[in-house]
Amino acid sequence: MIWQVEDVTSIDSTNSWLVEQARAGAPEGRAILAGFQRAGRGRLDRSWEAPADSALLLSLLLRPPTLRGASWAVSAVALSVRAALVRLSGVRPLLKWPNDLVVEDEKLGGLLAELVTDVPPAVVVGVGVNLTEYPPGLAATSVRHRSGVTLWPRALADIVFEEVEGRRRLLDDEQGLSTLRDEYRGASATIGRSVRVTLLEDTVVGDAVDVDENGALVVDVRGEQRVFSAADVVHLRAQDQAGDS
């Protein structure tokens, strides 16, 4: 894959910029790396803020051949970021469903995927990782806090690109997606945990037992397996479960 990377000092949102590029027909491998985002976004239009040059702020454009491949693209990128962090710093985050990188339940980073309906479909995956700073007063952390290693965003981005190349082919067929699903299971912080799942009009508590073939979370709720394709998930501790009983 040939990466075409736009390096910018400041931008409103790397994802917004790259989505427009995708709609205009930009090829797979287009990417943008920013030192600062004025209007960075997470899931549910939540803001993502970080001091200049303190975080990896990166968006990548992939064009898997199918919608199922596109739906797994964010997991492929998340696993690639995880592998890159291990290589460069020794920090080994786990993946909290649906889109967070965590170390001992402290948030290290997050991802946001945006689908651009096309043939083949295009998916823009935005990545934010706390490298040297993290928001105070929250359950968050940074690479430097965890490892003592200071990573420059471009250095990490280059290794992320290498790791994505190795997983990109897995998005092309069912065998590859099955391999990716197995890797995701092994890196999951959510599978095997008691969780509270919050939907727009409902909240349920149960045990996360798997992700299905589409990447949706499978939760055992009092013996009934329920599948969630989009929701907010909180990992519960013993005292949390007692309060929800």
Taking 90 as the threshold, does the pLDDT of residue 46 lie above it? no
- Do residues 111 and 78 lie in contact, with contact meaning Cβ atoms separated by under 8 Å? yes
Please state, in angstroms and as integers, the Cα–Cα distance from residue 3 to each residue in 22, 29, 62, 74, following that order: 14, 5, 11, 17
- Strand segments, DSSP code E, in the chain are 4-11, 30-37, 40-41, 47-48, 55-62, 94-96, 100-103, 106-116, 122-130, 194-198, 203-211, 217-221, 224-228, 232-235
Percent of the chain with pLDDT over 70: 92
**Residue with structure tokens 């790791």?**
163
**pLDDT tens across 165-211, in order?**
999 999 999 999 999 999 999 999 999 999 999 988 889 999 999 99
Taking 80 as the threshold, does the pLDDT of residue 139 lie above it? yes
Check residue 121 and give its pLDDT: 82
pTM: 0.92
**pLDDT tens across 156-169, in order?**
999 999 999 999 99
pLDDT band at 115 (very low <50, low <70, confident <90, very high): very high
Taking 60 as the threshold, does the pLDDT of residue 43 lie above it? no
Domains of the chain: 4-187 (3.30.930.10), 194-244 (2.30.30.100)
Taking 90 as the threshold, does the pLDDT of residue 132 lie above it? yes
Taking 60 as the threshold, does the pLDDT of residue 47 lie above it? no
Measured between alpha carbons, how far is 172 from 180 in angstroms, rounded to an integer?
Answer: 11
pLDDT band at 119 (very low <50, low <70, confident <90, very high): confident
Burial class (CB in 10 A: 0-12, 13-18, 19+), 106: middle
**What is the average per-residue pLDDT within 13-24?**
95
- Do residues 127 and 111 lie in contact, with contact meaning Cβ atoms separated by under 8 Å? yes
**What is the average per-residue pLDDT within 138-148?**
96
Please state, in angstroms and as integers, the Cα–Cα distance from residue 188 to each residue in 8, 11, 82, 95, 209, following that order: 32, 32, 11, 5, 11
